[in-house]
Amino acid sequence: SQKIEQNSEALNIQEGKTATLTCNYTNYSPAYLQWYRQDPGRGPVFLLLIRENEKEKRKERLKVTFDTTLKQSLFHITASQPADSATYLCAPPNQAGTALIFGKGTTLSVSS
Amino acid sequence: GAGVSQSPSNKVTEKGKDVELRCDPISGHTALYWYRQRLGQGLEFLIYFQGNSAPDKSGLPSDRFSAERTGESVSTLTIQRTQQEDSAVYLCASSLDGQGLDGYTFGSGTRLTVV
């Protein structure tokens, strides 16, 4: 069955540094992958979508890469700020294409 | 509406009772999804509705769980004979179409506690 793994449950970095979060998937090849941000007590918020034929996608301080050979997506936040502290979720579609399957997320803490 | 609205925001129920959770999607969004998030865990897919097509119920954990959607509007998720393991946040999301390529918009969820 499809499996989504996000490299670590928690990541602590200092303000101004670049945060890099990893998402690995196994047993299938999704046509795209989405990234979401979730704050405590709230539903996830959509950030970016990257397709399998796109190597990289950028949005302001966010950058996402998609390596179909490694079966991996990297999510970068440059010049990180304390306000970036949240849980970040990786979400490719299921094999049927009917819904997203979510990783457990990586909780990022940015200290000032 | 401006966003996805879920009600109630919190629900405490006794074991064995039935509960009904409601979701109002964004107007014009044809696809609607229910997910469950247990404490400290990731989101588990429950069910997907797309227009008038038959729903994808493959994520429903047992026959105690059911959901309905009328056309492209409100959806209700019903849990019968609730058990303690049903305690979780139930999240609803909608998207413009069934592909979800513009991303999902989630509600804030219903926190269900079964005592």
| B7-44 confidence digits (pLDDT tens) | 999 999 999 999 999 999 999 999 999 999 999 889 99
Contact A96 B93 (CB under 8 A): no
Is residue A13 predicted with pLDDT exceeding 60?
Answer: yes
Task: Flag whether B108 is in a domain.
Answer: no
Question: How many domains does chain B divide into?
Answer: 1
Nearest chain A residue to B95 by CA distance is A99
Q: For residue B6, is it within any domain?
A: no
The verdict on residue B9 lying in a domain is no
Instruction: Of A21-30, B7-16, B44-53, B96-105, give the range with the top mean pLDDT.
Output: B7-16
Residue B42: list chain A partners with CB under 8 A: 89, 102-105
Residues 62-101 of B with CB under 8 A from A: 91, 93, 98-101
Residues of chain B with Cβ-Cβ distance to A101 below 8 Å are 45
A57-91 pLDDT, tens digit per residue, is 999 999 999 999 999 999 999 999 999 999 999 99
Residues of B in contact with A93 (CB under 8 A): 100
Mean pLDDT, all residues of chain A: 93
Kindly list the domain boundaries of chain A, sorted by start residue. Answer: 3-111
Determine whether domain A3-111 maps to CATH 3.10.20.30. no
- Measured between alpha carbons, how far is residue A1 from residues A95, B40, B107 in Å? 9, 22, 28
Contacts of A57 (CB under 8 A, 6+ apart): A48, A49, A50, A63, A64, A65, A66
Query: Is any Cβ of chain B less than 8 angstroms from the Cβ of A49?
Result: yes
- Among A34, A94, A99, the residue with its CB nearest the CB of B103 is A34
Predicted pLDDT of residue B52: 86
- What pLDDT, on the 0 to 100 scale, is given for residue B1? 53
CB pairs under 8 A between A and B: 56
Q: In which domain, by residue range, is B34 found?
A: 18-96
Cβ of A43 and B100 within 8 Å?
no
Q: What distance in Å separates residue B108's CA from the closest CA in chain A?
A: 5
Give residue-wise pLDDT tens across range B45-84: 999 999 888 999 999 999 999 999 988 889 999 999 999 9
CA separation, residue A63 to residues A48, A83, A88, B14, B104 (Å): 9, 17, 13, 46, 19
Decide if B10 is inside a domain: no
Q: What is the CATH number of the domain that holds B71?
A: 2.60.40.10
In a domain, B84, yes or no: yes
